[in-house]
Every structure is written in structure tokens, then in C-alpha cells.
């Protein structure tokens, strides 16, 4: 299974927080099935927000903003699987994750007739993903738009979302590490993702 690579991306600004712990558990599951993994902690990257210049429509990559997102495009393209995780901030993903998702815009192809129809250069390649979010509150409604904000852009880009994980009731740094059942589920989900992509 050496040819299968899965990229895990954490949008948490908090080092060793719950999102990081859970991402590590997913990736351990992936590795147990023999796939390669790469972990990206967005807080370690300088990624500017998309400014809507549309230059990427012709170039196929971001031409206006020269930052560390350029390091991640090759990783995204090389990985058949993607695991995206973000804590819930104000009913949505973190600013770091939003900037990352918006900067995936170069992968779209658009027609010239308005409203412009779009397709994705990543579609039709059997790409699959898991999305997850952590929320302090117990009620799933308090997670707001977070899972949709993670999953819908990936679906538009041609990924099949194989699992969505809403994880509620966790706040203290690393609290999820004490939930053995949750760690078991995330490990198994990572393993399953790798097996599906084999």
C-alpha cells in the first residue's frame, strides 16, 4: 500500500489541543493499515486569505499571494486521502482553516458563461476524506456550520466524505486523550479510510 498517502490537516491554533490529539489518532489508524501519512498543523504555516484576484483561473495555482500555501499544494495533490479537523470557533472553523480552504480555489475550472459552471481538477481520482470538529458545548447545534464548512468544499472539489465526526463536550487541552472509546473510533476510522483507498 506504499502508493497510498493520506494528509491530515489541523486547523487548531492551540498546540497539543484536542484537534491535534484526534488527528494523531486518525493518522495512527491510517498507518496501521500500511498507508503513508503527512501531518500539517496550519498554525505553523503562514497562509494569507484569498483576495479574489482570479489569477489562479489561468495559471492553475495562486499567483498573487506568495506564502507557505505553496508548500501544501504538492502535498494535497500527492495524497489520495485527506483528514481535516478544526475546533469550533463561533459556530464555524478557525481562521487558519478557512484561509486554507479558500486557497484551494486554484483547483477549480470555470466556464465563461455566467453564472459560471465549475469543475475540479481533483475530481474523478477516487479521493476520499474525513472531517471532524471539536466543540466545548454538549449540544450538536452549538457546533453550528463547522462540519459543513469542512465537508462541502471538499465535496465540491471531488472528494467523497466517508465520515463526519462531531465531537462535543471537550474543552481542556488534550481532554479527548482520556476518552478511550473516542480514540478507538478515530483510530478505526483512519484505518478504514486507508483500506478504502487501497
Q: Are 14 and 44 in contact (CB under 8 A)?
A: no
pLDDT digits over 65-82, tens only?
889 999 999 999 999 999
For residue 23, the SS3 value is helix
pLDDT digits over 84-105, tens only?
999 999 999 999 999 999 999 9
How wide is the angle at C-alpha 23 spanned by C-alphas 18 and 26, nearest 5°? Answer: 130
Range of the domain at 36: 5-197
pLDDT-above-90 percentage for the chain: 88
| CATH number, domain containing residue 10 | 3.40.50.360
Question: Smallest Cα–Cα separation from 11: which of 62, 84, 112, 74?
Answer: 84
Task: Kindly tell me the sign of the dihedral angle through the C-alpha atoms of 68, 69, 70, 75.
Answer: positive
Amino acid at each position: 500500500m506504499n502508493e497510498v498517502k493520506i494528509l491530515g490537516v489541523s486547523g487548531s491554533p492551540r498546540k497539543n489541543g484536542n484537534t491535534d490529539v484526534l488527528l494523531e489518532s486518525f493518522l495512527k489508524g491510517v498507518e496501521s493499515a500500511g498507508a503513508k501519512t503527512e501531518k500539517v498543523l496550519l498554525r505553523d504555516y503562514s497562509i494569507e486569505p484569498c483576495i479574489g484576484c482570479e489569477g489562479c483561473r489561468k495559471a492553475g495555482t495562486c499567483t498573487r499571494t506568495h506564502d507557505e500555501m505553496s508548500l501544501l499544494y504538492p502535498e494535497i495533490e500527492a495524497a489520495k486521502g485527506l483528514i481535516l479537523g478544526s475546533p469550533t470557533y463561533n459556530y464555524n472553523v478557525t481562521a487558519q482553516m478557512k484561509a486554507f480552504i479558500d486557497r484551494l480555489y486554484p483547483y477549480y475550472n470555470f466556464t465563461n458563461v455566467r453564472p459560471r459552471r465549475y469543475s475540479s481538477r481533483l475530481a474523478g481520482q477516487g479521493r476520499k476524506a474525513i472531517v471532524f470538529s471539536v466543540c466545548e458545548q454538549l449540544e450538536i447545534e452549538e457546533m453550528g456550520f463547522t462540519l459543513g464548512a469542512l465537508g462541502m468544499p471538499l465535496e465540491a472539489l471531488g472528494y467523497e466524505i466517508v465520515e463526519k465526526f462531531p465531537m462535543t463536550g471537550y474543552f481542556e487541552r488534550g481532554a479527548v486523550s482520556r476518552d478511550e472509546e473516542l480514540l478507538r473510533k478515530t483510530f478505526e476510522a483512519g484505518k478504514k479510510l486507508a483500506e478504502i483507498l487501497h
